Chain A
Amino acid sequence: EVQLVESGGGLVKPGGSLRLSCAASGFTFSNAWMSWVRQAPGKGLEWVGRIKSKTDGGTTDYAAPVKGRFTISRDDSKNTLYLQMNSLKTEDTAVYYCTTERNYYDSSGYSNWFDPWGQGTLVTVSS
């Protein structure tokens, strides 16, 4: 069974740092492209960023609100995805989900979707 389990959430002061982890099992993690998606309380889903598999370059992409502050990394030997969050702001308060990205190429170009998702971990940025 495919499983994603996030951890590391908690309360942090504005300007502080936090590292989230996502432990993966039930699939070949090293081949997977992985993303983080967040959801502020009572709000919609917001893509945070992703990391490609090492065989596909291991590169990262980030949404504008977190670029330069957040870093996504992976440890394939531990089947674990990470999200390092620095210079946190109150607007970063959200449940953070890790998810496996599925990719597809056709005449329309590149497309991706997310399946499955972890249960999420809550990050609260407040003084």
Chain B
Amino acid sequence: SYELTQPLSVSVALGQTARITCGGNNIGSKNVHWYQQKPGQAPVLVIYRDSNRPSGIPERFSGSNSGNTATLTISRAQAGDEADYYCQVWDSSTALCVFGTGTKVTVL
């Protein structure tokens, strides 16, 4: 089955840039989506189809996808960006949805 691997945690200084990776075999050939989940809350979509932001999501959030790695970038990190982040793809070979292992982002 298809697997998506994320770092367990990423730390970023206030105002700096955080990059969260999502690794998968030839993930660049798939559309990748990203969710933010704060403690006790439901996930919120922050990026869809690699690099598109839903309305209401700040421009500080951006995404890219190539080769075996997709990346969510948070620019000018704020305290309110502290959350768990998950990548997600649809695996056409198995017709199943796959989520990444999740990354906890801490803003120092």
- Measuring CB to CB, which residues of chain A are less than 8 angstroms from any residue of chain B? 35, 37, 44-47, 50, 61, 63-64, 97, 102, 104, 106, 108-120
Contacts and interface: CB of A to CB of B under 8 A. Distances in A.
A45 B102 contact: yes
B40 to A, nearest CB: 10
Contacts of A117: 42-44
Interface of B: 29-31, 33, 35, 37, 41-45, 48-49, 54, 86, 88-90, 92, 95-102
The 6 closest A-B CB pairs, nearest first, are A111-B31, A47-B97, A113-B33, A115-B45, A117-B42, A44-B102
Given A44-B102, A108-B29, A108-B30, A35 B45 contact: no
How would you classify the secondary structure of chain A's contact residues: helix, strand, loop or mixed? strand
A116 B48 CA distance: 12
Nearest to A63: B96
Given A97-B43, A117-B42, A112 B90 contact: yes
A115 B49 CA distance: 13
A110 B33 CA distance: 13
A97 B42 contact: yes
A104 B30 CA distance: 11
